[in-house]
Structure 1
């Protein structure tokens, strides 16, 4: 074997040293090497929790007695639910479930104590109250269904009779069969749009820089905001096409209901697409290569999947994780699209999430435009 093709350990070591030096100079890649495993460890070890606690609930107490108040305290002591609102009528409670303000409502009728007494005397098997749950999220509704029979801390509160437990009827709105596909398919749109919109936009801008086209664009009268709008508008159509494909296939294959209010669906989806494209533009002002743009997209995609409520219940996360997730556009879109598609909510009822996405777009476009203009100078 000639010396020209003989393996040389020295040459291999030289190449390895060169690659290590290149990694050390590439700050973004080096940061991703350190941050991705750290982020995954924190997400899976700390933020992700399948034990549902503090489900936001509402109370419709027509009894308003000491016994009903004791029952509510016992339910909150279980830490499964947390009563955040009280309603005066059923219409208000149903509207709160539809808008996603609460995931369950406890209804206690005016004859609550009589029902409890007759049940303990074995004169009746009727439930003493009712849980109305948002069945579009089977995990949360399943946790509330676990409270179907609730031990009472004061077993002799009703006329000296041993009322040791309360039995409730469970009513699941929007998804009575509690099928997981009904919950997953709308949320999947958020994940796919997050991945494609951010990656396509950031890579498109960086590709211009890598191919040398940016120098040509500098000599033209085009402004940074005009270049950015020209880059993102085609991807708006791509995002709408992806949404249509997922919803159509979800309906045909998994019987996921199609949205009744198409205008509301269009409004919230356009907002989310614009927010994701804006985030891609911000990444493009930082990334130097398409590889770096892809790495930064993955770094955003991971928490968007795990913290947005797509896979794990939002209410089960620790408060710091919830604060972080509220910064992600995907969290707000998952809430909105499930509300519009599954609960037939109107986009104007989702004012908090709509307002956040509008603010995110405005701030993101401002940052991207200023940073891009600085690079051109």
Structure 2
């Protein structure tokens, strides 16, 4: 082995790496992204779960018990309700994940000590909320010597089956991985082969070119949704309690959002390898911060703000709402609206960058 020739090859690779700014940035960017995201996202000690309280006893001791549980910081009491029907409505809309109920005979239960004096109704479609509810159930109350002071009632998933929580999330995760990557790589491949330049030279407008490239992948995405729903129902008995048509409508919106992201990345990348790098760079924040892998409520506020910008966060709420809570798009309209805004912004940016290439 000739060390001089070997050194020349090494020097050539280093110079080429320096010219490839995206790869050079990824060398430091990917480890930093993983460190920051995992450091903030991996927090199983959930705090600040959005909750409501229904105090049917309305006594000094019941208010003291509510204040004691609120001081645990596991739940954040945002709503004070007047009737039990409001609990189901807020849970269906996803505005709360738990509701603390103080029964009328709260004082009598404290004296008899025959059953828990409080009840915590939780959204069973989120396993992290279930785990935090069990933690809160063992929280000590003044004047209560028994181990469990709170009776936990799981809505939508009383058996605590993991697939009911996982499969709706996998809809979004799989679509994110495939749609973004397929679109970004496919468009860059067209550019590398010279086909994209030929298309730009034709009378085809930037909007026609962008939408025409996206539409075939929409059908592929809908096929993937059908496969996941069928296999999830067949193997794991995961239900679709809400409207199947609305679920497909929301999926179509999310597919377009993911394809828009892929098209935008393709306008930034020069090679297929760069497109794959950037696609991977967008996977981590969405999967880690959306609430699919780790509890959303356990993240710092800054991480939650970033998560609100990501389409997977909103699609995950929609799928769990429709499939498990029997919610309708009328109750989840704000999540769908953000997906629509995301599509419009990314498609507009992509078309503007294609327009610049025509100049």
TM-score bracket, normalised by the shorter chain, equals over 0.9
CA RMSD of aligned residues (A): 1.5
| 1:212 and 2:194 correspond | yes
Flag as ranges the 4+ runs of structure 1 deviating above 3 A: 162-166
Task: Please give the residue correspondences for 1:64-103 in structure 2 after superposition, counting only pairs within 5 Å.
Answer: 64-103=58-97
- 1:146 aligns with one of 135, 154, 164: 135
1:31-87 per-residue CA deviation (whole Å, 9 max, x = no partner) reads: 111100000011112332111111111111112222211111111111111111122
Residues 325, 294 of structure 1: alpha-carbon distance in 2 compared, 3 angstrom cutoff: same
In the aligned structure 2, how far is the partner of 1:216 from the partner of 1:321? 43
TM-score by length of 2: 0.96
| 1:163 to partner: Cα distance | 4.6
Task: Please give the residue correspondences for 1:1-377 in structure 2 after superposition, counting only pairs within 5 Å.
Answer: 7-119=1-113, 125-152=114-141, 155=142, 162-163=143-144, 167-377=149-359
| 1:259 to partner: Cα distance | 4.5
In the aligned structure 2, how far is the partner of 1:210 from the partner of 1:163? 72
In the aligned structure 2, how far is the partner of 1:15 from the partner of 1:253? 53
In the aligned structure 2, how far is the partner of 1:352 from the partner of 1:69? 33
1:245-270 per-residue CA deviation (whole Å, 9 max, x = no partner) reads: 11211122222223441111012111
1:67-118 per-residue CA deviation (whole Å, 9 max, x = no partner) reads: 2111111111111111111222111111111221111111112222222223
**Contact in 1 for aligned 2:123/2:155 (Cα 8 Å):** yes
In the aligned structure 1, how far is the partner of 2:81 from the partner of 2:192? 59
In the aligned structure 2, how far is the partner of 1:307 from the partner of 1:268? 20
In the aligned structure 2, how far is the partner of 1:235 from the partner of 1:271? 13
| 1:147 to partner: Cα distance | 2.2
Gaps of 5+ in 2: none
| 1:164 to partner: Cα distance | 5.1
The count of residues paired between Structure 1 and Structure 2 equals: 358
Residues 45, 149 of structure 1: alpha-carbon distance in 2 compared, 3 angstrom cutoff: closer
**Contact in 2 for aligned 1:148/1:168 (Cα 8 Å):** yes
What SS does the corresponding residue of 2:139 show, helix, strand or coil?
A: strand
Q: Which has the larger radius of gyration?
A: 1
1:255-301 per-residue CA deviation (whole Å, 9 max, x = no partner) reads: 22234411110121111111111111111111111111100000000
In the aligned structure 2, how far is the partner of 1:348 from the partner of 1:258? 17
What SS does the corresponding residue of 1:227 show, helix, strand or coil?
A: helix
**Contact in 2 for aligned 1:275/1:360 (Cα 8 Å):** yes
**Contact in 1 for aligned 2:171/2:225 (Cα 8 Å):** yes
What SS does the corresponding residue of 1:150 show, helix, strand or coil?
A: coil
**Contact in 2 for aligned 1:107/1:131 (Cα 8 Å):** yes
TM-score by length of 1: 0.91
In the aligned structure 2, how far is the partner of 1:163 from the partner of 1:12? 76
**Contact in 2 for aligned 1:104/1:141 (Cα 8 Å):** no
In the aligned structure 1, how far is the partner of 2:293 from the partner of 2:165? 9
| 1:327 to partner: Cα distance | 1.0
**Contact in 2 for aligned 1:236/1:274 (Cα 8 Å):** yes
Of 56-65 and 141-150, more deviation after overlay is shown by 141-150
